[in-house]
A and B are shown apart, each in its own frame.
Chain A
């Protein structure tokens, strides 16, 4: 019975964790903003040789401007350029991601400043050396001090801190609070260098469609526009990649589903082991009660009566174990949620499923001992001590 209890508890807890992971991921993807389309540099074609995705920045600031001007389904465009850099304040420093983006970034990502301000169009025109810090960066460099109005050093240049971003948390394995935002123009002109070959290149372009229904038209318009601008004709492949939020969600869903199946099947094996435990208990019980079976047969129990008795006993055993297991599983889910600060969701389906399976297992593994019992010869059974 302990086997069944642990098996059921494991199934419920692990499925709850898996379900929690799924919801968490969905939430994180939602937190990317609504109706967002991501364009990344793709494989550049040099002659007939395809380089890997993201090896070169094939997107330019002009591409971004063209999308904003020409594609009717697109509402906002935020080109960006980012890289890992060291940021210094006084004697402290931290390695963080410096993102050059445009002033619409908070709007598109739904990621706003907690204090101070984000930079505006004027700052961009002036390539102003100002920055907005994420929470993690503030904690590392300033501790409890107020960073606004202070100057930090990024690659030898002084940047005035004008704002602090709100807490966003980790998303897709990246800590979104460990970032520093600066105007894109400043990033291109002062930090990441200016490559005149293909204009002012950017790392990514984020677009926001007007509405949910506009996402697919926007993807179509963007793809065609960029092919024209990059002179891509068949048989050459796109040197950029367009991803929508829905696609990201789908990918994440696939990952979490695999995760859940993995956890669930591990738990299912322990449930099976529990079932074998029930069979052992029942076999011992049949041996111990041989005499009782003999008596029952002598006073008129038929084959079926004995069979039913032991199958029902096994079922009751797994039923009781199932109830305790469900309670234990729910408790474990909450404890895990408390310790790992991870949302766990106990779904009614996982409870019903594992409970039902445990009863079936009890019945299934009860049948073999029950048949042993029913087949006993009453004379031999009566003679045993």
Chain B
């Protein structure tokens, strides 16, 4: 469960202060499938970074599984990212010089999992996304959809509760997008909490709950049945 209370985030741009988030409060229960929408500059990326523990709020309280985040050190945050959160990026962000298997092993390396076990778990994760025949391919030998599936496997391998996907289909065509969305849906049905940031209505429509941001404020929060896209 994640809980945000009156989260504010201000950036300093030279002498000017820009408020990216102006007090957002939000609770996401375990097992929810949430889509966050908003135009560029609405603060959705900032919100995503805060939820992903990559950034800290300027004020307000944020807790994951009832653990307040602001008290934690950089390295403790790294530990949270490693164990509790799986990231899926728009640009995949795979390491180019490593094979699919090695890329998926990386979070386990930082979790101090022994090499044999991590290779096994990475293999399982890649099988789960349907890439067991591509273990030793490098990212540049894979299609965009395959690369994104590798990065989903990487997000899954350390068995986090929360999957954060930032525009996961932004760099894919519509057919592969659909494949990726099916994968996310499968994960949701397995009980993972999923938060997707997107500006595509088709992607958002897969989620069970829709949140809209505008100018750093939460302007819409409802289940997708009632949503207007």
Instruction: Tell whether A297 pairs with B78 under 8 Å between CB atoms, given A302-B110, A305-B110, A379-B49.
Output: yes
With the chains together, A297 CA to B55 CA distance in Å? 12
Given contacts A296-B110, A302-B78, 9 further A-B contacts (CB under 8 A): A292-B95, A295-B94, A297-B54, A297-B81, A299-B81, A299-B82, A303-B75, A305-B110, A378-B54
B192 proximal to A (CB < 8 A): no
Residues of B within 8 A of A (CB): 49, 52, 54-55, 74-75, 78-79, 81-83, 87, 89, 93-95, 106-107, 110-111, 154, 158
User: Distance in Å from the Cβ of A199 to the closest Cβ of chain B?
Assistant: 89
Is B110 touching A301 in the complex (CB atoms < 8 A)?
yes
Distance of A298 Cα from B92 Cα, bound (Å): 12
Q: Are A300 and B83 in contact (CB under 8 A)?
A: yes
CB distance from A247 to the nearest CB of B (A): 64
Chain B residues with CB under 8 A of A304: 75
User: Within 8 Å of chain B (Cβ to Cβ): is A382?
Assistant: yes
Query: How far is B55's CA from A47's CA once the two chains are assembled, in angstroms?
Result: 94
A40 within 8 A of B: no
- Tell me the residues in window 259-314 of chain A with beta carbons closer than 8 Å to chain B beta carbons: 291-292, 294-305
Contact B78 A301, beta carbon cutoff 8 Å: yes
**In the bound complex, do residue B74 and residue A303 qualify as a contact, i.e. CB atoms below 8 Å apart?**
yes
Contacts of A303 in B (CB 8 A): 74-75, 78
Residue from B81, B89, B111 with most neighbouring chain A CB atoms (10 Å)? B81
Interface hub of B52, B75, B78, B87 (most chain A Cβ within 10 A): B78
Q: Which residues of A contact B83 (CB under 8 A)?
A: 300
Contact residues in B for A297 (Cβ distance below 8 Å):
54, 78, 81
**What are 30 A-B residue pairs whose CB atoms fall within 8 Å in the complex?**
A292-B95, A294-B93, A296-B110, A297-B54, A297-B81, A298-B52, A298-B54, A298-B87, A298-B93, A299-B81, A299-B82, A299-B87, A299-B106, A300-B78, A300-B79, A300-B111, A301-B78, A301-B110, A302-B74, A302-B78, A302-B79, A303-B74, A303-B78, A304-B75, A305-B110, A379-B49, A379-B54, A379-B55, A382-B54, A382-B93
C-beta contact mask, A146-174 vs B, less than 8 Å → 1, else 0?
00000000000000000000000000000
Determine the main DSSP class of B at the interface with A.
helix
A379 to B110, CA, bound (A): 19
A305 / chain B contacts, CB cutoff of 8 Å:
110
B140 smallest CB distance to A (angstroms):
15
Residues of B within 8 A of A302 (CB): 74-75, 78-79, 110
Tell me the smallest distance from the CB of A383 to a CB of chain B, in Å.
9
The interface residues of chain A lying within 8 Å CB-to-CB of B52 are 298
Contact A299 B110 (CB under 8 A): yes
Of A295, A300, A379, which is within 8 A of B93 by CB?
A295
- By beta carbon, the residue of chain B nearest A383 is B45
- Which 8 residue pairs of A and B lie closest in terms of their CB atoms, listed nearest first? A300-B82, A300-B110, A302-B75, A299-B107, A295-B93, A302-B78, A300-B81, A378-B54
Q: A378-B54, A379-B55 are in contact. Are A300 and B95 (CB under 8 A)?
A: no
Which residues of the partner chain A approach B79 to less than 8 Å between Cβ atoms?
A: 300, 302
Once the chains are docked, how many angstroms separate the CA of A379 from the CA of B9?
14
Within 8 A of B (CB), among A342-385: 378-379, 382
Give A108 Cβ to nearest chain B Cβ, in Å. Answer: 72
CB neighbours of A382 from chain B (8 A): 54, 89, 93
Least CB distance, B135 to chain A, in whole angstroms = 19
A292 to B92, CA, bound (A): 11
The smallest beta-carbon distance between B208 and chain A, in angstroms, is 26
Alpha-carbon distance A303/B82, docked complex (angstroms)? 13
- B106-A296 in contact (CB<8A): yes
Distance of A31 Cα from B58 Cα, bound (Å): 84
Tell me, in angstroms, the Cα distance from A295 to B89 when the chains sit together: 10
A304 vs B78: C-alpha distance when bound (angstroms): 11
Q: How far is the CA of A298 from the CA of B52 in the complex (A)?
A: 8
User: Could you say which residues of chain B place their CB within 8 Å of the CB of A301?
Assistant: 78, 110
Question: Which residue on chain B has the smallest CB distance to residue A300?
Answer: B82
Q: Which residue of A has the minimal Cβ distance to B48?
A: A379
Bound state CA distance, A296 and B109, in angstroms? Answer: 10
